[in-house]
Amino acid sequence: MKTDRTDVDANRMRRVMDRHEGPLLRYAARILGDLELGRDVVQETFLRLWRSDKAGRDDHLTEWLFTVCRNRALDVRRKEQRMTRLSEHAEQTQPSPTLSPSAVAERREAVGRAAEAMSALPENQQEVIRLKFQNGFTYRQIAGITGHSVTNVGFLIHTGIKSIRKRFKTIGLIGQV
């Protein structure tokens, strides 16, 4: 029995969506500050993949998806002319069931402090730090997604982490290094 080409494309698309939907949704929602708008952007990103010439995309598919998602999210944000963060409640509604209540409370406090420190950074530093540490991209991949040079990506990450470290030292969360 021969497999229909459309079935092969649909199966490939399902695999791509299973792998990338969550990270793309977090990325888009963070840019937009709105989970529902983020879902719309991710859906449009996958539609663009479906409609595009898929040949040659496998080598850099993840970068291509994040670039399309980023560009669309920025377009939507400009159109909406607003930028709001996800609520603290939304960030903290998924605690691990294996942690004790005190560990959950400590984690929430640490996440809150980290989010506060991140929010004090310039937007471009926040974006590259999230791409690096939440999504595991290399500097080269981040440069491809954001349009910054590889050197600038490294500088932005270094400067952002240095600012966060300084802030944590100031409030006594870490000792002097």
Domain extent listing, the chain: 5-80, 98-170
The confidence score (pLDDT) of residue 118 equals 86
In sequence order, which residues have a C-beta less than 8 Å from that of residue 148 and are 6 or more positions away? 124, 128, 142, 156
Alpha helices in the chain (DSSP H): 5-32, 35-51, 61-80, 88-91, 101-119, 123-133, 139-146, 150-170
Give the global pTM: 0.58
What is the distance between the alpha carbons of residues 161 and 155, in angstroms, rounded to a whole number?
10
**Residue carrying the six token digits 């999230």:** 130
| Assigned CATH topology for domain 5-80 | Rna Polymerase Sigma Factor; Chain: A (1.10.1740)
Residue bearing the bigger pLDDT, 125 or 111 = 125
* Structure-model confidence comparison of residues 109 and 127, the more confident one: 127
Q: Using one digit for the tens of pLDDT, what is the confidence trace for 44-74?
A: 999 998 888 764 466 788 999 999 999 999 9
Please state the rounded mean pLDDT for residues 96-125.
79
Residue 101's pLDDT is 75
Judge: domain 98-170, CATH 1.10.10.10: yes
Residue 157 or 95, more confident: 157
Query: Quick one: tokens of 132?
Result: 């690096």
Local structure of 66: helix, strand or coil: helix
| pLDDT for the residue numbered 98 | 64
